[in-house]
Amino acid sequence: MGNPANYSLELPERCLQLLDALWPHAQATRQVERPDLGPLTSTFLISMSMPIINLPIERIERRSGNEASHYASDRPIDPAAASAIVETLQKRPFGDAPFFADGAWRFVSCVKPPFPNIARGLPETIAAELDSEDAARKAAGIPASQWCSVLRNALAHGGIAYLNEQGRSSYEEPVKMYAFVSGTYDLMSKKRPKPLTAIHFLRISETDYRDFLRRWVAWLQDSGIAKESEAA
């Protein structure tokens, strides 16, 4: 494998290629202790999606300012492509993004304590709210910057809940959905640790998430193509 000239554009494409090529093997692989719960596709999909999502966010969207202030910034490698990516992620609602699919994502926020611990499962009140059409409308209306922050934080810090086909936490059924969970904190507080002010939940099915990754990578590639066209 060659060294990529632009990690943010090339690594997601390579990871997607691996995801597609190895998907049949993941479908044929089951947990030894519980083969009845289905193949390990969710584990594989989440694992492969981490660099697909986080590399462009970390190396482009989060790398504003002078190049000298960053040790891993792809912005100066392809400035036009980086500008197109930042324009979408920082200046549009999520529903206007090219990689958005109507109805695939649901979004709710918990803004009052006591805040749930997703290690104990997704609370029924949150699960029911995520079922609503209002949650789908909220997902379309949030800023794309908030969407990518929730998804990025969930993937980076382990804020992921596996859900069954009904969108509930269950240890006895196959995984069919994911909830990506991220908290916000009172950064002005002098307390240690900083107190939570809200927890945000993004829900999507496994099938829709895999489809989203295809659209996301295609959008990154199109941003690079746009850059090349401008340079021609």
The domain segmentation of the chain, as residue ranges, is 7-231
Bridge partner residues of 82 (DSSP): none
For the chain, the residue count is 232
pLDDT of residue 156: 93
Q: pLDDT tens, 148-174?
A: 999 999 999 999 999 999 999 998 899
pLDDT of residue 8: 84
pLDDT of residue 74: 72
pLDDT of residue 146: 96
Q: Which of 187, 205, 209 is nearest to 196 (CA)?
A: 187
Q: Are 230 and 79 in contact (CB under 8 A)?
A: no
- Quote the strand ranges of 97-176, DSSP E: 106-110, 160-163
Residue 87 CB contacts under 8 Å (≥ 6 apart), including other chains: none
pLDDT of residue 69: 55
- 192 or 22, higher pLDDT: 22
Between helix 206-231 and helix 7-27 the angle, nearest 10°, is 150
Say if residue 228's pLDDT is above 60: no
pLDDT of residue 63: 64
Q: pLDDT tens, 173-223?
A: 999 999 999 999 888 888 888 888 999 999 999 999 999 999 999 999 998
Strand, helix or coil at 204?
Answer: strand
From 69-73, 122-126, 146-150, the region with the lowest mean pLDDT? 69-73
- Report the chain's mean pLDDT, rounded to a whole number: 89
Q: Over 44-90, what HEC string results?
A: HHHHHHHHHHHHHHHHHHCCCCCHHHCCCCCCCCCHHHHHHHHHHHH
Between helix 41-56 and helix 7-27 the angle, nearest 10°, is 180
pLDDT of residue 232: 44
pLDDT of residue 39: 93
Say if residue 127's pLDDT is above 80: yes
pLDDT of residue 64: 62
> For residue 98, what is the DSSP state?
T
Q: Is the dihedral of CA 130, 132, 134, 137 positive or negative?
A: positive
pLDDT of residue 58: 85
> For residue 116, what is the DSSP state?
P
Q: Are 82 and 46 in contact (CB under 8 A)?
A: no
Position 4 confidence tier, pLDDT thresholds 50, 70, 90? confident
